[in-house]
Structures are given as C-alpha cells and as structure tokens.
Amino acid sequence: MTAAFAPSTFDPATLQGNILRGYRLGRVRYLILEVGGQAEDRARARRFLAAAAEGGSAEVPAITRESSGKWAGGARPDTCFNIGLTAEGLRALGVADQHLATFPAEFTDGMTKRAMKLGDFDDSASAHWPAPFDQPRRVHIIASVYADDEGRIDEVQRKIADAFTVLGHRDGRNLAEDKVFFGYRDSISQPRFAEVQDPERSQDSEPVDPLGTVLLGFPNRFEGVLFSVPSPDVLGRCGSFNAFRILAQDAAGFEDYLDAAATRLLAHPLVDQVLEPGGEARIGRGLDRFGALREIVAAQMCGRWRNGVPYETSADAQLPDPPEAAVSLTNFDYSRTSACPAGSHLRRCNPRGGPIVQRIANYTRRLVRRGMSYGPDFDPATRDRSERGLLGNFIGANLGAQFEAVMCDWLNLGLQDPDVTGSNDPLIGANRVETSWFDLRLRDGGSIRLREIPRFVTTRGGAYTFLPSLPAIRYLAGLTG
Ligand code: HEM
C-alpha cells in the first residue's frame, strides 16, 4: 500500500466486464494459455490482444467490457470473453523486470508459493494439482468464455487456439436454482458500487463499496491510503487482481457429516435447545427430527439455510419458501448477541458491521465472487464420490489485504473473534478430523461443540492473475522484443 496520488476517472468502457457486475450466463470455460517462447509466438499473441481490445474481428473474439448497467448496443452479449494474466504471462509478453517489480509480491510470487496462507497443504498442496497447474510457470493467461450455449464457447476457443498454446481447460455451469454442491444457494451477497446500476441489487442496504475495493487507482475503505498502482501507469491503473481457484467439494463427505452430527445431537441431553419437540415443520416440509437437525447444522455452518435465507434474521425457520417472499437475503448485520455463529462461513468471510477484533477491518476485505460448479450432478441419496466442485474467482484490488487476509486470518485462523480463534471455517477450511471444532448455537444462547469435521474442500489448481484494463491490454499488445 502506498500514499495517495490523483484518483482515476471512472470510465466503464475501459474496463473488462465481469468485475463490477456478473454476466449471469449459464456456462463458462476457462482456457489455460501459454504464450509460445519464439519471437513469432509473442508477435501472434500481441496481434490477438490488439484485435481483441479493439472490438474483435472474424478471427479474434472481442474482450467484453463493463458498461455500467447498460450493455453496449442495448442487449447483453450472448458470449463474453475476458483475460487475466499471471506474472509469468506478463513477463512472456515482454513486460520489463523493472515494471514487474512494482507489482505486489504475492502476485509475482504466484499462488503456489503462497500455500501456507491459503491452506494449500496436505491433499491441497500444489504438488498434487493435475495438469496444467502442475507447471505454474507455463500458465500465462487464464481466459474465460461465458455463454449459455456450448457451441459458442467452442467457436471462441478455436479462435484463441490460433494465437496461444492451450495447456488445458476447465468447464463450469450454473447448477439449478443458483446452488452449489453442498446444496446451498450461492452468489447472494456481493459488493456493490454506486457507479454501477444493477437493478437486481437496488434493494440491498449494506454499505456501498468504493470502486477501490476492486479497481486500482480509486479510493478504498482504508482512509487516506490507495493500493499502489503498478508501473507503467497505463498497465496498472484500473486493473484488478483475481485468485482463480479450482476447489473440489466432497459433497458425499459433507452429507455424511450432517448425518453423523444429527445422530450425535439426537442423543445429546441439550437437543431440545437445538430444536424444540415438534419444531421440524418450521425447518422444512416433510422433515423428521433427524432431517431437521441436519438442516440446522448445515445452516449454522454456512450462516444461511440451504435455500439462501440468512440464519441471522431467521434462526427459527428456513421457511417461508420461496425466501424472497418474506425476508431480505441481504439486509442484516451481526451483533454480540447474534443468532448466527461467529464461526459460520458467512460471518468469517464478511463480518459486516459486527464486532471483530480488528474493528478497522470491517468491510475492508470485500471480495467480488464469480463462481460456477464443475463436475457431474450430485444426488444426496446415492452420494457418489466423483470429483466435482467450484471454479471460483475471488476478485479485489489487493490479493494480500483482501483474499489472503480472508483465507488466512478469518477462514483458517479465526483471528476475528476470540470465541473462534483456533478453529477453521467448517465448510471450506483446512480442517483435520483430530482437531476441528465448530460451536453450534443453542436457542438459549449456549452452545454444543461439534468435532471431527473433515476437510470438505480441496484445492485442485489455481493461479493469481492480473485483470488489465482495455488501455493496459493495448499496452501489452504494443510491447516489442
Ligand atoms: C467450494 C468452496 C466454497 C463454497 C461451497 C462456498 C459457499 C458459499 C455460500 C453457500 C455462500 C452463501 C451465499 C452468499 O452469501 O452469497 C457463500 C458466501 C460467501 N463466500 Fe463462500 N464458498 C466457498 C469458498 C469461498 C472462498 C474460498 C471464499 C473467500 C476466500 C469465500 C467467500 C465468501 C464470501 C465473501 C461470501 C459472502 C459473505 C457475505 O457477504 O455475507 N467463499 N459461500
């Protein structure tokens, strides 16, 4: 971080899309690209970038831009294409060492070197990541292609493959009802910005986030301090950083754990403080006591019921259904007497205005999340163990102060609240059966400590990328050598 300079002017047409506002298309393909090592390879890649930044051509897809609420030409494009570059990618395109040195260390180190901060050890260690993430130095660009129709994605891929070596790809899709494996509705809470009109978020009453939360060169919530803009200015300004993560979810293990927890609770002397006799109907239609206890454990671990209703405002009931009918999914805050456990995924990722040890950090670590699921459908009745999970993008202006701080301090160390310090996030933390715990809140304010929580989420690849502005892409296209 560094002290101030003149803030940028907001011009959405110079920004890549999918940063300030999501596309809401049904499918995505991430193409993991390498710029070839010969001069002609670099020249081909640069020609491609130049054309992509200028609106595309018959051979080159256009970079999709932000348009601050309206899409250029009126309608939302049916295919969207964007790029993020790793530090190796910037180097491969010819960015000088002296300029690379002005990027933050966590970015130039790359994701694999930040393993301890990110919980990437044991089965999540990069040594176990499948190709192409087993060769991080060759991962230069992660291109994303969004569409509802796979044929359109294939078309764009063919064009990209003419300019770069495609090392591999990952396909994602939206699951029904915007759910993720584990059965929760996702993508409800996101930062929002005064400069971006998004009718779907106009009812939110959480504080609006300054643009500097995600864009370099704009003020953020750290008073009087701007995140430093890498050099040269045209390259760094209005850029963003992204943590692209391939996160395998053990959906079967998660459902098994809910069974085990409910079984233990049924035999617990305080079980009526979790669910009073006869309370099952409030939790879900057709649920017996065992099933209702499973849902309460799931809701408290996340901080939302699986249908998206916040536990904080609706601790007694998952219903009414649909949730939008009666309760806001976004307008709530935490307090010292919150119903939502301090150890839940939601309170760890975004403590909102609630009490935390570093009060100054409230609202400073907001992350834009763009995720889709990968792998086959999951049926909780049969619980097969095929690999499936989340292709996640966690976007912000500073990887260290935002993504890594959330991953390390809040998700995996629990430093925000002495009551949870030493425990990991129950849903996605680097848990070990021998040491893990999560305090389930009781109706009278007490708690029951759940233990033996296994690790449900394993890292299977990823990279830190820089999301350049359109002028920055033109700058990269104009490099020589
Ligand atoms: C497979 C891994 C993950 C799963 C299944 C998962 C699931 C969820 C779910 C179900 C929600 C609630 C929906 C919502 O509020 O939008 C949520 C919220 C959230 N998650 Fe995750 N998540 C995962 C990984 C992560 C990671 C790695 C981070 C950050 C480092 C993260 C940060 C957040 C944030 C910031 C929120 C919104 C909290 C709020 O503003 O109230 N998640 N996640």
Q: Is omega for the bond preceding 132 within 30 degrees of 0, making it cis?
A: yes
Question: CB neighbours (10 Å) of residue 208?
Answer: 15
Q: What is the pLDDT of residue 76?
A: 74
> What is the Cα–Cα distance from 109 to 120, expressed in whole angstroms?
15
Closest Cα to atom 34 of ligand 1: 349
Alpha carbon of 300 to ligand 1 centroid (Å): 14
Best residue among 204, 241, 362, 369 to mutate for probing ligand 1, ranked by most atoms within 8 Å of CB: 369
Closest Cα to atom 18 of ligand 1: 346
Backbone angles phi, psi at 32, to 5 degrees: -100, 115
Q: What residues form DSSP beta bridges with 165? A: 34
Alpha carbon of 408 to ligand 1 centroid (Å): 14
Counted residue by residue, the chain has a size of 481
Written as tens digits, the pLDDT of the chain (481 aa) is 544 456 678 998 899 999 998 998 999 999 999 999 999 999 999 999 999 999 999 999 999 999 755 655 566 789 999 999 999 999 999 999 999 999 999 999 999 999 999 999 999 999 999 999 999 999 999 999 999 999 999 999 999 999 999 999 999 999 999 999 999 999 999 999 988 877 777 778 888 999 999 999 999 998 777 899 999 999 999 999 999 999 999 999 999 999 999 999 999 999 999 999 999 988 988 999 999 999 999 999 999 999 999 999 999 888 655 555 678 899 999 999 999 999 999 999 999 999 999 988 999 999 999 999 999 999 999 999 999 999 999 999 999 999 999 999 999 999 999 999 999 999 999 999 999 999 999 999 999 999 999 999 999 999 999 999 999 999 999 999 8
CB 457 within 8 A of CB 445: no
Retrieve residue 7's tokens: 């803030």
Q: What is the pLDDT of residue 73?
A: 56
For residue 243, give the ligand 1 atom closest to its CA: 30
Instruction: List all residues whose CB is within 6 A of at least one atom of ligand 1.
Output: 180, 182, 184, 186-189, 247, 249, 302, 304, 345-346, 349-350, 367, 369, 389-390, 392, 394, 403, 406-407, 427-428, 457
Best residue among 120, 181, 186, 208 to mutate for probing ligand 1, ranked by most atoms within 8 Å of CB: 186
Q: What is the pLDDT of residue 256?
A: 98
Nearest 5°: CA angle at 477, between 476 and 480? 85
> What is the Cα–Cα distance from 44 to 431, expressed in whole angstroms?
46
CB 62 within 8 A of CB 81: yes
Q: What is the pLDDT of residue 321?
A: 53
Q: Name residue, tokens 């649920």.
A: 287
> What is the Cα–Cα distance from 475 to 60, expressed in whole angstroms?
18
Residue type present at position 349: C
Burial code (b: 16+ CB inside 10 Å, e: under 16) for 89-116 equals bbbbbebeeeebeebbebbbebbbebee
Q: Are strands 225-226 and 165-173 parallel, antiparallel or unpaired?
A: unpaired
Closest Cα to atom 9 of ligand 1: 186
> What is the Cα–Cα distance from 72 to 410, expressed in whole angstroms?
39
Residue 177 Ramachandran class (φ > 0 left, ψ -120 to 50 alpha, else beta): left
Retrieve residue 336's tokens: 């010292």
How many angstroms separate the Cα of 402 from the Cα of each of 230, 317, 334, 364, 384? 17, 33, 20, 7, 35
Nearest 5°: CA angle at 362, between 357 and 368? 135
Alpha carbon of 430 to ligand 1 centroid (Å): 15
Alpha carbon of 399 to ligand 1 centroid (Å): 16
Closest Cα to atom 37 of ligand 1: 189
Best residue among 428, 455, 458 to mutate for probing ligand 1, ranked by most atoms within 8 Å of CB: 428
> What is the Cα–Cα distance from 177 to 167, expressed in whole angstroms?
32
Residue type present at position 329: L
For residue 184, give the ligand 1 atom closest to its CA: 10
> What is the Cα–Cα distance from 82 to 301, expressed in whole angstroms?
34
Retrieve residue 139's tokens: 């991962």
CB 107 within 8 A of CB 59: no
For residue 186, give the ligand 1 atom closest to its CA: 13
Closest Cα to atom 4 of ligand 1: 428
Alpha carbon of 116 to ligand 1 centroid (Å): 20
Alpha carbon of 122 to ligand 1 centroid (Å): 22
Alpha carbon of 345 to ligand 1 centroid (Å): 7
Closest Cα to atom 7 of ligand 1: 186
